[in-house]
Amino acid sequence: MKQKILIILFIIISVFAYSQKKQKLFIDTLDNAFDISYYMYNLHGLLPIISPITEPAVGFGATLATVYFIPKKKNDSIRFQMPDIVALAGGLTGNRTWFAGAAYLGFWKQDRIRYRGVGGYGDIKLKYYGNGSDFLNKNPIKFSLNSTFFLQQVMFRISNTRFMLGGKYIFSKSNVTIFDDTDSKWIKPKDISIQNSGFGVIAEYENYDNILSPNKGLRMNINYLQFANFLGSDLNFGRLTTFLHYYIPIIKNKLISGFRLETLFATGDAPFYTKPFVYMRGIPAMRYQGNITTLLETEQLFLVNKRWGIVGFGGIATTYNDKNEEQMPTIWNCGGGFRYLIARQLGLRMGIDLAKSNDDWGIYIIFGSAWIK
């Protein structure tokens, strides 16, 4: 349920939308295989979409959306330009989590400006395992987070380089409902009903050969978000996020290795549900939290032929609490799956992954990179 869904929306529709009317749009004339390259180059129209939700923390479910694509004017110097995307969406999962919202994704001035605007409401049912508490680790608190959310983000490319700088503004108004009153002692009263308003800065370098399914390249990102009273926030706290994603072809056209290094750091008086948590396949959201989280993950893609590939992945992570310097046990994940080259001209892959972690597992529908942010 992260921003990734906005990147994959226009892919899923090709499987369900026009297959009965225009089969030729989805056949690659090079090898007569199923392919959506032609359709993606000619995106337009208002289309319904179904996207699965496979997050272990909220259970299986689905997102229903209506999406409108705004194609760019053709430019001989650019082979493909991402269209702007306008979306209305809503979702429901097995534990009665639901959400609804709207979003606009813009790629302007030949990708010199990237804009993202999101707004919505959700009733998200999760479990809180605490930050290193043995009791909560074994007896998590079940709670519901009712939240109104609003995001504005814009990034600008520096000249003709691969560097981008930008900023973002986030507003949310949230209410927490604890299902068992005896658990209330573990939650600070100020976290029950709160308004958060914060401004952030972003710096990024990216030289991928393919922004959706990289085979080669590096992406480095650092961003800091500060919530403050003078911005309308009830509490003062911040969040620093850094990540590095690197892809390298070990054996040409056969083996592609990917590496992911990420660190999140919370400052100030952050509400419990905003503190960093380990986000990897097979690990439920908010299962492992702390004031600091770090992770290292690798993914190996072996290409069987031009269309099909087998993927294996694994990683380790940990969390820290800076107040008592307490460190949680090492967290791990591993798993595998497959990939299919669904859009040859764009190098875009999709597939399914099965993941296992310390004490849970999950099934994931993957479009593009599993690490898209």
CB 287 within 8 A of CB 279: no
For residue 66, give the CATH number of its domain: 2.40.160.50
Asked whether the beta carbons of 295 and 280 are under 8 A apart, the reply is: yes
Alpha helices (H) in the chain, listed in sequence order: 4-16, 37-41, 134-138
Summarize the confidence of residues 81-101 as an average pLDDT: 89
CA dist 224 and 321 (Å) reads: 19
Instruction: Copy the structure tokens of residue 158.
Output: 């520096």
Give the SS3 label for residue 355.
Answer: strand
373 in a structural domain: no
Tell me if 236 is assigned to some domain: yes
Of 131-135, 149-153, 193-197, 225-229, the one with minimum mean pLDDT is: 131-135
Residue 17 included in any domain: yes
Would you place residue 1 in the very low, low, confident or very high pLDDT band (cuts 50, 70, 90)? very low
Q: How far is CA 227 from CA 9, 165, 170, 218, in A?
A: 31, 20, 9, 30
Residues of the chain with pLDDT > 90, as a percent, come to 54
- Cα separation, 169 vs 44, in Å, equals 30
Are the CB atoms for 168 and 114 separated by under 8 Å? no
Q: Which band of pLDDT confidence, cut at 50, 70 and 90, is reported for residue 338?
A: very high
State the residue range of the domain holding 72: 4-367
**372 within a domain of the structure (yes/no):** no
Average pLDDT, the chain: 85
Q: Where are the beta strands (DSSP E) in 81-192?
A: 84-93, 98-108, 113-128, 141-157, 163-178
Count of domains in the chain?
1
Structure-derived torsion over alpha carbons of residues 290, 100, 103, 215, reported in degrees to the nearest 10? 60
By three-state DSSP, how is residue 182 classified?
helix
Based on the number of CB atoms within 10 Å of its own CB, is 141 exposed (0-12), middle (13-18) or buried (19 or more)?
Answer: buried
- Lowest mean pLDDT: which of 107-111, 116-120, 144-148, 216-220? 107-111
CB 244 within 8 A of CB 220: yes
Give the best-scoring range by mean pLDDT among 30-39, 247-256, 353-362: 247-256
- Whether 273 is covered by a domain: the verdict is yes
Q: Is the pLDDT of residue 40 over 80?
A: no
Would you say 40 and 346 are in contact if contact means Cβ atoms under 8 Å apart? yes
